[in-house]
Structure 1
Amino acid sequence: MKINRKNLLYHEIIGLEVCIIKHLDPSLEGKCGRIFYETKNTIVLETDKDKLKILKKGAVLEFRVDSEKIIILGDELIGRPEDRAKNILK
């Protein structure tokens, strides 16, 4: 199944390219990289230089899937990744 805006929340996001458009911590804005790891409340972003632990709450994230840009609020991603996948069945 191709990832799009409607189903991104139910997919595995580790490995996807993402840029932080807006965040409660302004120093993180504009950072881009690949999602390396995800927990209930955070994502670890691997950039060219380092790995950044980023809170999902208060973030606006731009995912790059194929040639499409998908903007998601970090608050929509809060929760365990496996629980988000289970919600698709409900």
Structure 2
Amino acid sequence: MNERNILRHELIGLKIKIKYSSNKYLIGLLGKIIYETYNLIYIKNGNKIRKIPKKSCIFIFFLPDDKEVVVDGKLLVGRPEDRLKKRLKYW
């Protein structure tokens, strides 16, 4: 997994931080992805589980090789299994 193909991989288990959100209380939230649906990412932060909308956020993913990748949540909207089939433009 690297910064160019992160959208085609499983996100569950990755550390994540919210860089920007339309909800100011979510900005800076740090946690681990435990579940993913069409529109939401479930993040475990301490003992709490937070539901985060994909569409209104910009995320920082921390990859296992200590790299950080910034991803617009609009690119993540959709079922995880369908996102693998989607044709994506690389930036």
Under a length normalisation based on structure 2, what TM-score does the superposition of the two structures give?
Answer: 0.90
Give, as a single letter, the amino acid of the residue that structure 1 aligns with 2:70: I
Q: Supply the distance in 2 between the matched residues of 1:58 and 1:75 (Cα, whole angstroms).
A: 7
Give, as a single letter, the amino acid of the residue that structure 2 aligns with 1:13: L
Partner of 1:51: 49
Structure 1 residue 22 corresponds to structure 2 residue 55: no
Gaps of 5+ in 1: none
Q: Supply the distance in 2 between the matched residues of 1:50 and 1:58 (Cα, whole angstroms).
A: 21
Under a length normalisation based on structure 1, what TM-score does the superposition of the two structures give?
Answer: 0.91
Cα deviation code 1:12-47 (max 9, x no counterpart): 000100000100111000000000100010000001
Gaps of 5+ in 2: none
C-alpha RMSD of the superposition: 1.0
Q: Supply the distance in 2 between the matched residues of 1:41 and 1:87 (Cα, whole angstroms).
A: 16
Identity level (%): 38
Q: Supply the distance in 2 between the matched residues of 1:87 and 1:59 (Cα, whole angstroms).
A: 20
Aligned pairs, how many? 86
Structure with a larger share of its residues in helix: 1
